């Protein structure tokens, strides 16, 4: 290694995160947890990332939570709902996804998906700054995760943010 010092625990944690979890997974988990700064920082660490790819990764996460939320709304516990998801949730992400399932209501998930779909349409416009659009969408979804936003009209608010 070229660190000029010994390897410490933080170095190992960083290597493990880079090796076993994709930065997109980290970014989407952070956004779902309401951690806008961490989500955008994780996106910024990815070289040559298409904004549309980032948006689709977060869409997949929100759809996963939507499926789990539907099971919870039908009477399942959050942990049981996450255990029933297919494809199965990666074991390192399971606790976070269970926690997110408890926090995200069906209404908030619908608003988040509206934001993401609108962002994808904007990102597909010729010459659009995809990375900026994706970062703004990740921030908006993170805000929804812990927000007191009135969800009616969330897409209209998203349009005003852009």
List, for residues 24-76, the tens digit of each pLDDT value. Answer: 899 999 999 999 999 999 998 887 788 999 999 999 999 999 999 999 999 99
> pLDDT: is 117 or 2 the higher one?
117
pLDDT on residue 158:
41
- For every residue of 83-111, DSSP letters joined together read HH-SSPPPTTTHHHHHHHHHH--HHHHHH
> pLDDT: is 14 or 125 the higher one?
125
Closest CA to 50 of 108, 1, 105, 120: 120
Q: Is the pLDDT of residue 4 over 80?
A: no
99 token code pair: 């926690």
85 token code pair: 């998801």
List, for residues 84-135, the tens digit of each pLDDT value. Answer: 999 999 988 999 999 999 999 999 999 999 999 999 999 999 999 999 999 9
């Amino acid at each position: 290694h070229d660190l000029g010092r010994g390897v410490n625990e933080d170095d190992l944690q960083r290597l493990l995160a880079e090796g076993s979890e994709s930065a997109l997974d980290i970014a989407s988990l952070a956004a779902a947890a309401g951690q806008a700064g961490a989500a955008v920082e994780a996106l910024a660490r990815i070289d040559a990332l298409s904004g549309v790819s980032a948006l689709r990764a977060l869409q997949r996460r929100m759809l996963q939570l939507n499926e789990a939320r539907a099971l919870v709304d039908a009477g399942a516990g959050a942990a049981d709902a996450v255990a029933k998801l297919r494809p199965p949730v990666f074991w390192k992400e399971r606790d976070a996804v269970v926690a997110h399932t408890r926090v995200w209501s069906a209404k908030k998930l619908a608003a988040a998906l509206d934001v993401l779909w609108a962002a994808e349409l904007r990102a597909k416009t010729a010459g659009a700054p995809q990375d900026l659009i994706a970062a703004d969408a990740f921030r908006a979804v993170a805000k929804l995760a812990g927000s007191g936003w009135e969800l009616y009209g969330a897409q209209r608010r998203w349009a005003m943010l852009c």
